[in-house]
Structure 1
Amino acid sequence: MTRHRPFISIIAIALGLAAPITVAWAQGAVPAGFAAPPLPALGVNTVADVEPRVPRPPGEPCVAPLFAPRQFEGVEPVAFAYAPPAGCRGPWAKVVLEADFDVSAGRQFDRTAIIHLGGVNLYYGTTMEPRKAIAPAWHVERDVSDYAALLTQPGAGEVLIANVVNETYTGRLTASARLLFYPAAASTSPPAAPQLVQPISNGLAKLTKDNDRLARTVVLPTNVEHLALDVIAQGQADDEFWYDCVPDVLASDKEGRCGGGAFRQVEVFIDGQRAGLASLFPWIFTGGINPYLWFPVPAPETLNFTPSRIDLTPFAGVVNDGRPHRIEVSVPGVRNYYLVTASLLVWRDAGASSTRGRLVRNTLTAPRETTDARRVKADKQGLNGRIDTRLVQDGEVAGVLQTSHGEVATRVRYAMSFSNRQDYVSNDKVQIGRMRQLTRLRVDTRRTDPSGTATRREVLSYPLSTVTQETVTVDGTDQTATVDLTLGRTEREVASDGRVWTRALSNHVAPTAHGQFNRAARRFQNASGSSVQRYRLEDSAIGCYGRTVVVKDNAVVTARDGC
C-alpha cells in the first residue's frame, strides 16, 4: 500500500502521545448473543476495539493452527499446510478464524494482510501503523462456517503481509492464525452451508486500467439450487483514495491527483451478462489522509474487511448444464490497481442429481453517470472550484428452477445511487480540499417455492466527508484534516411463515488531526488527533450492542458500552 498524495502529509516523525485520564463506565450488560471485545483501558494509544467479535455456540472448540506466530519481512507470500482437527470431523455448528497481529514501535506503513486456503480467502484486512513509542497489537475474527466444505480436507494455504524492514522502515510485523471448530450438538441441525466452495480469484487477482476484469471459466454441478459470490476488492496506490479521484482530464501524477473519477464498485458478469453488483465501502487505512486521525481508533473495518455476498441464484438454471461458464468480476474506473478476491458458493439439491431452469428476466443496466467539472480549473497552484459526480443504477435479475421439492423462483432487485462533491481552494497561502460523498445500495431478494414466499431487503449506506487544509506559516505549514465516516447496513427478512427478523448496524467515526511542519527542522511537530467512534448493532432476535470511544491527544479518555 502507498501513502496519500502530499496535500496533507503528517506522516514523518513518530511521537509517543499521552492524554488526560477520565473514567470509563459501562451502561448495562452486553446481551448474551453478542461477543464484546474487552473495553479499552483509559490511556490506550494503540488499538481500541469497538466492533464485536464472532458469537460462539456452547462447548469447547477443536483448534486447527494455520500458522504459528512469525515475523513477516519481504514481499513474497508465506505457505502453510492445513489439516482438519483430528477427531473433530463435524458437522460443525460454527467455524471461526482467529488471527493476532502486532507491530513493533518504530516507523512503518500500513500493510495489506491476507490469508488464503486452497485459493479461497479466509481473512483480508490491513495492519495498524506504529509510531516511535507506540507498538499496536490487535485481534481479528471472522465467521467462516460457510466455507466448511473447503475445511473438511487437508489443503495448502498462503499468508501475505508484504512488509519492508530497513534503516528507514523499522516496524516489524508478527502474526499468527488458527481455525476453531465448534461441534454441532446432536439435538440441533448444523447450518445449511454450501456443498461447494470454489475460488474464482485463486488467491488474489490484480485488476488494472488495462485489465479491469477477473475472469474464470467454471463447470458447476448439474444440481445447483443456490449460488452466491463472496467478493472483496481493495484499492491500492492511488485507487486507495478513489473517493478523492478526479476525471481523467484533471488528473496529474506530478500534482498527485488520481484519475478515473470518484466512483468505484464491483460488478459480476456471467457469460457476458451483468449478473450482480456490490458497493465498495470507502475503507480508510491507518496511513490514509493523516495517520494521527486513527490512533487508537481506526476507521470502520480497516483491520478486518467484510466480504460482499452477491446472490447469483437467478442464474442457477443457466450454469447447471454441466458445460463451461465464464464468471467475471470487474471494478470499473480502476486507474492504478485493485486487489480482488472472489469465491463462488454453491448449494446443491440433495434430492436430485440435476435441476433445470432458465433466466426469466435481466434488466440490470450499466450505471448512468453525470459528472459536472465545468466549475473547476487547474493551474500551477492546484485546483480551484467544484466537481459534482452522480450515478444511478437499477434493474432486476430473475430466474426459475425445477427442483426435487418443486419450482423455485428467485428475483433480485438492485437500486444504487451515488453522489460525490469535491470543492477546492488553492493559492500561495492555503490549500483546502473538501469532499462529501454518499453511496447507497438497496438489494431486494424474493424467493417463492411450494412452501410460500420469503423476502429479504438489505440497505447499505456509506456517507463520507473529508476536509484537508494546509496553511503557509512563517516557519512552514499548519496542517489539519477531519473525517466523518459511517458504515450503515440494515437487513430485514420475512420468512414464508411470516416471521420477521431485522438487523441494523451503524459504525460512525469522526476524527480530527493537526500538526505543524517546521521547514528549518524538516520535521513535523505538535502532531496529534482526537476522535469519537460510536458503534451500534441491533438484532431483533438477541438485542442491542453498542460501544462509544472518545479519544483526545491520540489516547482513550472515555470508553463505555450500552445502546
Structure 2
Amino acid sequence: MGRRYLALILLLSIVMSIRSFNLPTETVPNVSLEHLDPTLPPAVAAGQIPKCSVVILTQDFADTFGSPPAVANYTHPRECPFPWTRVVLELSVTATDLQRDRVAAVWIDGAEVLRTTTPLPMAPGAFWTVRKDVSRYAALLRRLGDPSYTAVRGNGAITMMLETSSSPLPGFYSANVSLHFYRGAVAATTSATAHPNTRGLYHEPADIILPVSNPQGYSGSGGFWFRINNETHTENAAIALPINAYRAILEVFVSYHGDDEFWYTNPLRSAYLNRPVGNLSTPRTNGGFRQLFVNIDGKFAGGHIPFPVIYPRSINPYFWSPVAAIGAFDMPTYDFDLTPFLGLLLDGQLHEIGLGVRDAQPYWLVSANLHVWVDLWSDAVRAGLILYNVPPIKMNRNAEWRNQDGQSEINAEGLWRFSGWVSSSRGNLTTEVRQKVKFKSQIEVQNRGAMTQVELNNKERMTVEVSRGHQMLGRAQMLMESPLQVQTTKVNAAGGSVFQKSRLFHQLFESVILGEGQAVTTSTLTDRQDAEGSALMHGEEPVWGSGATRSLYKYRDETTCYLRSVNTAGGVVMVDTTSPSCAAEA
C-alpha cells in the first residue's frame, strides 16, 4: 500500500505540474490580495480618530541588495505635542508583482521599532498593513521634537531596510510608514496595548532610549543590523548611561537567515556530539537549539530561546497565503532587565553591551534598544550587584543515524538569578530577576529521508521583583510556552521538482501576573495555528500547491476577553470572525 500511495502522489504531482506549466501567462491565481495578521486587536477601538497623522517615509524597494536603508527626514508635527495617550506606527506595503518574502525593519533615530517579514506575493497587487503600538518609544519622538536637539543634529531621521531584487521575479515593494498620535481619552479594545510579555516591564515609557546597533547604519549596506555569523561571534556597542539612571531594560530584535533560516528543524548529526567548539563544517545539521544572549563588558547578563517565527516560504508557502504565521508581521522582541547590573554601569564611562546567539550558524541579524529611566531628583544614583548566579545550561544531546534516516534529541535546562540594589530619590530598592528555561527538540527522519517529523517545545518562566527591605513593592511573573510540530512527506517529481505534503501545529501561550502592593492582575494569551496541505516545489520556488490554515487568537484579562478566528483555504479567507467576549468561544 505504501508504494501504491507514493506512486499515486507522484502521478498527481506530474499532472498538476503539467497543468501549472500550461497556464497562459495572463492567468492570475484566484487568491485574496490582502494578507492578514490575526494577532493582537487594534491598539485603539474602531472609530477613534487620532489627533494627527503623519506619513514619515515613502519608498519603492527594488534592487536594494547591498544598498543603505531608505532615509527620510522627520519633523515633529506642532499640532501634536507631548504628552500622547498613544502612538501607533502603521506600515502599508503593496507588491507590484510576484516576489520572494523578505525581512524588513523600521528605525527612529537609529533605534529599531519594528521588524517584520513580507508575505510571499503570489499575484500582482498583493497588499498588507502592519500596525504596532509604539507608545513605549515616546522618548525617541520627544527627542526629535526637541528644538535644541534638532538644532544640533538637524531633522531626525526615519529609516527602513528592505533588501530585495527584481531578478528573476519582476515585482518590487512600495511602502508607506505613518505615525498616528492620540491625545485625551482613548478606548482600547483590550488592555493589551503591547505584546503581553512587555506589559510588566514597560509600565511607563522610558525617559531615554539608546540604540545598541551598527553605528554605520545610515551609510552601511546592512543598515543598523549587527550580523552574527557563528556561536563564538558577538557584536558589541559602547554605551554610556546617565549617572542618575535607576532602571534599565534591554530590548533585542532578532531574525535568522542563510543556513539558520530553518534552525528549529535542524537535525543533530552524530558528528556534532564531539565537535570542537566553533567548528561547524556541515550546515543545517547542528540541531534545533539556539539561545539569544546579552553580555555586559563580557559578563553574561541573560538569555532567551527565540520563538520560532515561520517565514512565508517555509514548510509550505501556501499555508501563509493570505494569513501570516504567528509573529511574522510583528516579530517578537526579547527583554533583558539590566537593573541589577546598574552598579557596573553608573560610572559615566563607556561600557560594552554585547549580543550573540549560542549554536548560531551564518547568519543572524540583531539590534537592540536600551530603555533607561532616570531620577530627575538626583544628580547621581548609587547601585551595586548583590547576587550573580549563572550555572551552565544543562544540555543533553543524542543522535542515531544510518545514512539519511535516524533521529536526534536535544534537552536543555537553565536557571539564572540576578539581584542588585539602587539608591535614588525613590529609596533603596532591590531588583531581583529569576529566569528558568526548559527546551526540548526531537527530529525523526524515515524512508530514506522522505518523511520528517519535528517536535519542539520551549518553556520559560521569568520573574522580576522590586522590594524595599522586606517589603515587596512590585512583581511581574511571565510564563511562556511555544510548542511546534511539523510532519512532512516528500516525493521526487518530474523535472527535478519535489512534491511534498505537510502538517503543522504551532502555538504561543503566555501568562502574565502583575502585582503592585495588594493589587494583582492576570492575563493570558493563546495564539494557535493548525495547517495542512501540499506543494510542488522546484528548488526553493513553489510551482503549484494548496493549503488550509486555521488561526485562533485568544487574549483574556480580568475585564475583557478578545477572540479572533481566521480560516483560509486555497489562498482565500473562508472565515474571519472577532468577538470581544468569551461567550463566542467554541
Q: Same fold (TM over 0.5)?
A: yes
Say whether 1:136 aligns with 2:126: yes
Q: Secondary structure at the match of 1:163?
A: coil
Q: Structure 1's 558 and 17: CA in aligned 2 closer, same or farther, altered over 3 A?
A: farther
TM-score by length of 2: 0.81
Q: Deviations over 1:38-64 (max 9, x none)?
A: xxxxx7464233123442386632223
Partner of 2:321: 295
Alpha-carbon distance between aligned partners in 1 of 2:116 and 2:461, rounded to the nearest angstrom: 25
Alpha-carbon distance between aligned partners in 1 of 2:535 and 2:49, rounded to the nearest angstrom: 51
Say whether 1:284 aligns with 2:310: yes
Alpha-carbon distance between aligned partners in 1 of 2:397 and 2:203, rounded to the nearest angstrom: 46
Partner of 1:243: 264
Say whether 1:418 aligns with 2:439: yes
| Shift, 1:191, TM fit | 7.3
Alpha-carbon distance between aligned partners in 2 of 1:334 and 1:526, rounded to the nearest angstrom: 33
**Conservation of the 8 A alpha-carbon contact between 2:289 and 2:359:** yes
Alignment of 1:93-492 (within 5 A): 93-106=85-98, 108-131=99-122, 133=123, 135-152=125-142, 153=144, 154-166=155-167, 168-184=168-184, 192-202=204-214, 203-209=224-230, 212-247=233-268, 258-373=284-399, 375-378=400-403, 383-427=404-448, 431-449=450-468, 452-472=472-492, 478-492=499-513
Which of 557, 564, 570 is the aligned partner of 1:553?
570
Task: Structure 1 unaligned segments of length 5 or more: list them.
Answer: 1-7, 19-42
Alpha-carbon distance between aligned partners in 2 of 1:385 and 1:199, rounded to the nearest angstrom: 45
Q: Structure 1's 109 and 354: CA in aligned 2 closer, same or farther, altered over 3 A?
A: same
Alpha-carbon distance between aligned partners in 2 of 1:516 and 1:256, rounded to the nearest angstrom: 27
Which of 58, 77, 87 is the aligned partner of 1:85?
77
Q: Secondary structure at the match of 2:482?
A: strand
| Shift, 1:237, TM fit | 1.2
Alpha-carbon distance between aligned partners in 2 of 1:347 and 1:96, rounded to the nearest angstrom: 22
Write 1 or 2 for the structure with the bigger share of helix: 2
Q: Secondary structure at the match of 2:264?
A: helix
| Shift, 1:313, TM fit | 1.0
What is the RMSD computed on CA atoms of the aligned residues?
3.0
Alpha-carbon distance between aligned partners in 2 of 1:56 and 1:418, rounded to the nearest angstrom: 36
Higher RCO (CA 8 Å, separation ≥ 6 residues): 1
Larger mean CA deviation between 286-295 and 60-69 belongs to: 60-69
Q: Which amino acid aligns with 1:95?
A: V
Q: Deviations over 1:8-56 (max 9, x none)?
A: 9x999798555xxxxxxxxxxxxxxxxxxxxxxxx74642331234423
| Shift, 1:525, TM fit | 6.4
**Conservation of the 8 A alpha-carbon contact between 1:509 and 1:533:** yes
Alpha-carbon distance between aligned partners in 1 of 2:115 and 2:548, rounded to the nearest angstrom: 27
Which of 32, 35, 45 is the aligned partner of 1:47?
35
TM-score by length of 1: 0.84
Q: Which amino acid aligns with 2:363?
A: Y
Partner of 1:508: 528
Alpha-carbon distance between aligned partners in 2 of 1:226 and 1:137, rounded to the nearest angstrom: 40
Q: Secondary structure at the match of 1:299?
A: coil
Q: Structure 1's 301 and 477: CA in aligned 2 closer, same or farther, altered over 3 A?
A: closer
Alpha-carbon distance between aligned partners in 2 of 1:250 and 1:46, rounded to the nearest angstrom: 46
Larger mean CA deviation between 63-72 and 354-363 belongs to: 63-72
Alpha-carbon distance between aligned partners in 2 of 1:45 and 1:463, rounded to the nearest angstrom: 30
Alpha-carbon distance between aligned partners in 2 of 1:478 and 1:386, rounded to the nearest angstrom: 23
Identity of aligned residues (%): 24
Alpha-carbon distance between aligned partners in 2 of 1:62 and 1:411, rounded to the nearest angstrom: 41
Which of 531, 538, 551 is the aligned partner of 2:556?
538
Q: Which amino acid aligns with 1:362?
A: Y
Alpha-carbon distance between aligned partners in 2 of 1:191 and 1:445, rounded to the nearest angstrom: 13
**Conservation of the 8 A alpha-carbon contact between 1:266 and 1:331:** yes
| Shift, 1:472, TM fit | 4.7
Q: Deviations over 1:466-508 (max 9, x none)?
A: 1111135789754212211112221110111x11112211111
| Shift, 1:412, TM fit | 0.5
Alpha-carbon distance between aligned partners in 2 of 1:470 and 1:494, rounded to the nearest angstrom: 51
Alpha-carbon distance between aligned partners in 1 of 2:414 and 2:541, rounded to the nearest angstrom: 47
**Conservation of the 8 A alpha-carbon contact between 1:150 and 1:197:** yes
Q: Secondary structure at the match of 1:317?
A: helix
Task: Structure 2 unaligned segments of length 5 or more: list them.
Answer: 1-12, 145-154, 187-201, 215-223, 273-280
Alpha-carbon distance between aligned partners in 2 of 1:457 and 1:127, rounded to the nearest angstrom: 33
Q: Secondary structure at the match of 1:149?
A: helix
**Conservation of the 8 A alpha-carbon contact between 1:17 and 1:553:** no
Q: Secondary structure at the match of 1:336?
A: coil
Q: Which amino acid aligns with 2:558?
A: S
Alpha-carbon distance between aligned partners in 1 of 2:542 and 2:85, rounded to the nearest angstrom: 52
Alpha-carbon distance between aligned partners in 1 of 2:390 and 2:558, rounded to the nearest angstrom: 32
Q: Which amino acid aligns with 1:346?
A: V
Alpha-carbon distance between aligned partners in 1 of 2:494 and 2:364, rounded to the nearest angstrom: 41
Q: Deviations over 1:355-403 (max 9, x none)?
A: 1121000113332211101x2233xxxx211100111110210001111
Larger mean CA deviation between 46-55 and 506-515 belongs to: 46-55
Alpha-carbon distance between aligned partners in 1 of 2:507 and 2:532, rounded to the nearest angstrom: 15
Alpha-carbon distance between aligned partners in 1 of 2:543 and 2:80, rounded to the nearest angstrom: 56
Q: Secondary structure at the match of 2:510?
A: strand
| Shift, 1:185, TM fit | 6.7
Q: Deviations over 1:222-243 (max 9, x none)?
A: 1111100111110011211111
Q: Deviations over 1:136-188 (max 9, x none)?
A: 2111112222221211214123211111003x2122211110112223579xx
Larger mean CA deviation between 385-394 and 522-531 belongs to: 522-531
**Conservation of the 8 A alpha-carbon contact between 1:289 and 1:481:** yes
Alpha-carbon distance between aligned partners in 2 of 1:473 and 1:315, rounded to the nearest angstrom: 57
**Conservation of the 8 A alpha-carbon contact between 1:246 and 1:257:** no
Q: Deviations over 1:294-334 (max 9, x none)?
A: 11222101122132222111112321121222211111111
Partner of 2:514: 493
| Shift, 1:557, TM fit | 1.8
Alignment of 1:511-526 (within 5 A): 511-516=531-536
